[in-house]
Amino acid sequence: MGSAVPVLYYHRVNRVDRRMAAGPELFLAQMRRLQQSGWRALTMAEILRFIETGDKPGVKCLAITFDDGFADNYYYAFPALQAAGMKAVIFLITERVGQGPARESETERVVRPFDEANKAALAGDFADYLRASEIRRMAASGVVEFGSHTMRHWPCFKGPAIERFILSASPHWARQVLAQGDLRPGVPLYEWASAVAVRRYHPDPAVKEKLVAFMRERGGIAAIKEQGKQAWTKKLREEARGIIAASRGSELESGAAAQKRVHEELRKSREAVKEFSGAPCLALCWPWGHYSGLGIEAAEKAGYKLAFVTEPGAVVVDSDPFTLKRVRVSGAISPRALDLMLAACSTRAGAGLMAALSRAGSGDQGGRSDY
């Protein structure tokens, strides 16, 4: 049936973030189970060799990845990987890497929930993310290698359809980025994707100002609290139709400008990973799993050899090296269940079935974004 290499992906390991993290004790138990069951964790160079030649150093091979570069990867995941003899790759958001000595004591550790950590990062507070000293220590151990998750992990508008409006004082961190910090009630948020996957759409600023004025004249936040977000979303959409129909100030970034911008983002991130870790950066992880021909071309030009998405599946010999599928590990999966899942997707047929079942029951928005 043909062999496949499952690639696990995590974000965090801690006791605070129940949505995005595995607990330290559970993560250690998972790694111990993999060790006892005979699994070997591959490096990115070994993954590349398997794709190109079919060679792998054993029957039961996998890869373990972490997205974003949270500090708890050092506090809790790194010791567990060492104890179980496993290896992993951490994809860094390079502009969020902090400075200072490696944190050793419990009192030095900062662990905030995922969304809070992201909002803090927008304000320049990177306490929840890895420091350069911690990256160097992990890289020197041979247990952890590092890849890129871009410089900023930012979204951007990609087209003229309005998806929602700013209707609260503290929206999701990605919506703050899309709004460029303008959190006035009524600010429109258009269809979006990762900034390294699409050409940027620049909406007519007059549309925003007219919608903000419309919302302000009708009571602003107080009116939203009284009638609810759903009612005001409907009213703003109705108002926006006429305004947008008359607007002329929107613009879509040219293909050449987008290619230059995305290439620079990926090149600089790759160089930063090498500087932090002291080793070449082979792999990239697409933010939100969004990829495109534009992004892939820029990644190849920047020198990457591999790139990972969030679509479920496994790596096989003829996989596209820039759209490698992975298996997300929830914080609730038991070590035994993880072992069974890996066994099921270690063949080409099993990986394909798992991908189909996961897509049928998943709301994951990752995937190709050709705009």
Mean local confidence (pLDDT), 345-367? 61
pLDDT at 353 over 80: no
Cβ atoms within 10 Å, residue 163: 13
- Give me the count of residues in the chain: 371
Mean pLDDT within 284-310: 98
- Which residue has 């020198």 as its token pair? 303
Asked whether the whole model's pTM tops 0.75, one would answer yes
Gap between the Cα atoms of 305 and 194, Å rounded: 20
Provide the angle, in degrees to the nearest 10, between the axes of the packed helices 348-361 and 335-344.
120
pLDDT the model gives residue 355: 63
Q: Are 339 and 262 in contact (CB under 8 A)?
A: no
Beta bridge partners of 202: 251
Which among 122, 9, 52, 74 is positioned nearest to 364, based on CA atoms? 9
Structure tokens of 336?
A: 């035994």
Q: What is the mean pLDDT of residues 97-115?
A: 91
Which value, to the nearest 10 degrees, does the dihedral of the CA atoms of residues 152, 184, 20, 8 take?
A: -40
Residue the block writes with tokens 């930063």: 272
Q: What is the pLDDT of residue 352?
A: 67
Q: Domains of the chain: which residue ranges?
A: 5-152+260-368, 156-194+204-249
Write down the pLDDT at residue 70: 97
- Non-local (6+) Cβ contacts of 341 within 8 A are 6, 327, 333, 354
197 in Cβ contact with 369 (< 8 Å) = yes
Instruction: State both tokens at 220.
Output: 């602003």
Q: 141: which 2 tokens?
A: 């151990």
Output the pLDDT for position 367. Answer: 65
Residue 284 CA to residue 90 CA, distance in Å, equals 10
For residue 13, which of 63, 66, 86 has the smallest C-alpha distance? 66
Q: What CATH class does 5-152+260-368 carry?
A: alpha beta
Provide the pairing of β-strand 155-165 with 188-194: antiparallel
CA-CA distance, 293 to 164, in Å (whole number)?
Answer: 27
Q: Which of 64, 69, 59 is nearest to 88 (CA)?
A: 64
Residue 368's pLDDT band, with cuts at 50, 70 and 90, is low
